[in-house]
Amino acid sequence: MPKQYHLTVNEIMRQVVVSKPSDGGYEESEIQAAEERIGARLPQPYRDYLKTYGKETINTAFNEIFAPSDITTSYEKLAADVAYFADPDHDDEYGQLSRMPREAWNTITDNYVLIWCENQGVWNAGYLLRDLQNGVEDPPVYVSTNDDYISFMCGWDNTENFLQAMLDSALEEVSRHEPSYLSDVKEIEAFLEQYGIDRTKLARRVNDMVCRGNCLDRDNRIFCMYYENDDPDKQFRYLTVVDV
């Protein structure tokens, strides 16, 4: 059977991830309630994922998806932090925010719709609220960078790449055996050669610094996800392999 390269999130969930009877997705009414609360419609690719796969175990096996009832904005989270941590007499960011009306907070930080978090809460990921309010169909996903709700950077250029990264980090949940994690370049190349996986097909550039890809090999009953970062300051590669 030919190898299948670049499975979409939908294909990974249907062909690789093993569902449980209690798994599935959220109701449209739950998603609409979240949208009413944040004041914007979520991107259609993410709405589709929530409705079809939102309750799948893989979404909480490593990093944590937010149920629609938990989707909120960074300003809502930040308001609690400001109330607790801020000293109006200090000129740090919390002190500045405490002296401002919320309408002026955008001079310090933008407002983000939070949809996912790191398993210990170190980072949160989400969409720029302004993008959603402006109707951007599939906007970038941002990630907090300083263990707070103030500093964010663009982490993924669209929903698909974000979800691929979340699934990659949690593939252990769908494997019958411990996954293999290869980060040595020679080991990766040897593995690809052993299984006849074409790296030129596997590694697809998704932005200026990152190549990402995956391959389903039914004959050898393996699924692998590849990541390569060309950032000179933190250049690395890794390959995650699970049995299917």
Q: Where are the domains of the chain?
A: 17-174, 175-243
* Percent of the chain at pLDDT exceeding 90: 77
51: pLDDT strictly greater than 70:
yes
Q: What pLDDT is attached to residue 214?
A: 96
Q: What pLDDT is attached to residue 208?
A: 79
Q: What pLDDT is attached to residue 72?
A: 98
Longest Cα separation, the chain: 68
Interval 219-241 mean pLDDT: 88
34: pLDDT strictly greater than 80:
yes
State pLDDT tens for residues 177-225.
778 899 999 999 999 999 999 999 999 888 778 899 999 999 999 999 9
Q: What pLDDT is attached to residue 206?
A: 81
Please state which CATH number belongs to domain 17-174: 3.40.1580.10
**Comparing C-alpha atoms, which of 8, 45, 12 is closest to residue 127?**
45
22: pLDDT strictly greater than 80:
no
Q: What pLDDT is attached to residue 213?
A: 95
Residue 88 — pLDDT band, cuts 50, 70, 90? confident
Q: What pLDDT is attached to residue 231?
A: 74
CA distance 66 to 63: 10
Q: What pLDDT is attached to residue 235?
A: 74
SS (H, E, C) 58-97: HHHCCCEECCHHHCEEHHHHHHHHHHHHCCCCCCCHHHHH
